[in-house]
Amino acid sequence: MKGKKIFSQKEVDQILELIEQKLNAPSTKQKVIRDRIRARGFYYSDFSKTRIRGGYTREDFLGFIKVKG
């Protein structure tokens, strides 16, 4: 595992915003946003070996991770 699976609420909020940006960005801008998501500790490849056409969503992310209490 390259990243982590437990995130603070602040991290979750930041990543959810970045995912929204990624989903609405042209493909030429998405890599920069994915790098920003990874910098916060979320690596999609840690949770799934299959690629999702169109990319993972906010709901996918929330289904993968746990939030610190």
Q: 7-64 pLDDT, tens per residue?
A: 999 999 999 999 999 999 999 999 999 999 999 999 999 988 777 777 899 999 999 9
Is residue 51 in a domain?
A: yes
What pLDDT score was predicted for residue 62?
95
Is residue 1 in a domain?
A: no
Is residue 55 in a domain?
A: yes
Is residue 46 in a domain?
A: yes
Domain range enclosing 13: 6-67
Is residue 30 in a domain?
A: yes
Is residue 38 in a domain?
A: yes
**For residue 39, how many other CB atoms are within 10 A of its CB?**
11
Is residue 17 in a domain?
A: yes
**pLDDT reading at 1 higher than 90:** no
* Predicted model pTM: 0.90
Question: What is the rounded CA–CA span in Å between residue 38 and residue 40?
Answer: 5
* Domain count within the chain: 1
